[in-house]
Structure 1
Amino acid sequence: MLQSPTYVYKLVPPSSPVPLNSRDIPLELPVSTLDKESGFIHLSTSVQVPNTLKFFFTEHESVYVLRIPYGFLEEGKVIKWEDPKAEVCGPRGGEGMFPHLYNDLKLGQDEIDAVRVLLKQADGSWDKSIQEAIQDGWLVY
């Protein structure tokens, strides 16, 4: 049996600002066009965050990362693990299935326990910010 993650993460572009203090997050945040079109909220595990940044946030210099306790989603039976569509970004070997949130596209204060901003480096990588988040114990499986 695979171990459930402690947290799953939602990556949000800087054009959709999110308060950094989780107490200030509204009850419901706006969802992305992709989430609306899909009918669910796309999430990533900590292991999947680096490639999600690489494939979907290339044009951004920063990104908000919303940390969501997995147990809460599992208890509510609103999480499904599904295969990514390889035609969007090609095969994502070793990343496995992705968590998708099926709760009427609601994501806000009730689901999110913390927010962090990751910054892209001058060389175009997110590596330094990701390593700092891991070292701080913020980005965990």
Structure 2
Amino acid sequence: MLKSLMGLFSKASSSAGASSSAPPTYVYKLVTHPTVNQRYAFPIPIPASHEFAISELDAKASGDGFIHLSMADQVQGTLERFFPQDQIVTLLKVDFGRLAGFKVVKWEKASNGQEYPHLYAVSLEGEYIDSFRELARGDEGRQPWAEVIEKARREGWLQH
């Protein structure tokens, strides 16, 4: 059953214009760090049943009913656009195959012309999270997000 669902996903993501011909292994969800807003705190280890708080951006899009996600190569732009003043954020690494096997993910074009994965669900649960990482800007928050992201790539954590 799962194999046939994944086959359907491969066809759907190709026709929906996913960034590459093969589906990604991971997509990412940027979350406000709990030191900025305690409502985004989550237990560690993350229980499979844990539901992550909906971000303000996702709440604004709630009329459309989706949660914003990013591909690995889109994380930097998302940080620069929506978290320009934050010194630290949490990045959730989401198992895309598992997520797409059980939830609706659509690839939709944003105002910048890029296609982003949008999770059409009421919530994102812990069972889909592979791991998470705190991304912190050094130099009292003046370090560019590009340098922080490059470090995560070099360390092999930020993957496609």
Instruction: State the TM-score, normalizing by the size of structure 2.
Output: 0.73
SS at match of 2:54: coil
Taking the aligned partners of 1:29 and 1:37, their CA distance within structure 2 comes to 16
Shift of 1:30: 1.1
Distance 1:77 1:108, change over 3 A: closer
Contact 1:11/1:64 (<8 A) preserved: yes
Structure 2 runs not aligned, ≥5 long: 1-13, 15-20
2:117 is aligned with 1:99 = yes
Work out which of the two has the higher radius of gyration on C-alpha atoms and give 1 or 2: 2
**Which runs of structure 1 show a deviation greater than 4 angstroms over 4 or more consecutive aligned residues?**
none
Instruction: State the TM-score, normalizing by the size of structure 1.
Output: 0.82
TM-superposition CA deviations, 1:77-117 (whole Å, max 9, x none): 41000011x2xxxx35xxx300000122x112112111100
Structure 1 runs not aligned, ≥5 long: none
2:70 is aligned with 1:44 = yes
Shift of 1:75: 1.3
Write the mapping of 1:1-141 to structure 2, written as runs, cut at 5 A. Answer: 2-14=21-33, 15=37, 16-19=40-43, 21-23=44-46, 27-38=50-61, 39-84=65-110, 86=111, 91=112, 96-104=114-122, 106-122=123-139, 123-141=142-160
Deviates more, 1:120-129 or 1:107-116: 120-129
TM-superposition CA deviations, 1:7-33 (whole Å, max 9, x none): 0000011122344x4435761111012
Shift of 1:74: 1.9
Taking the aligned partners of 1:18 and 1:25, their CA distance within structure 2 comes to 12
Distance 1:132 1:124, change over 3 A: closer
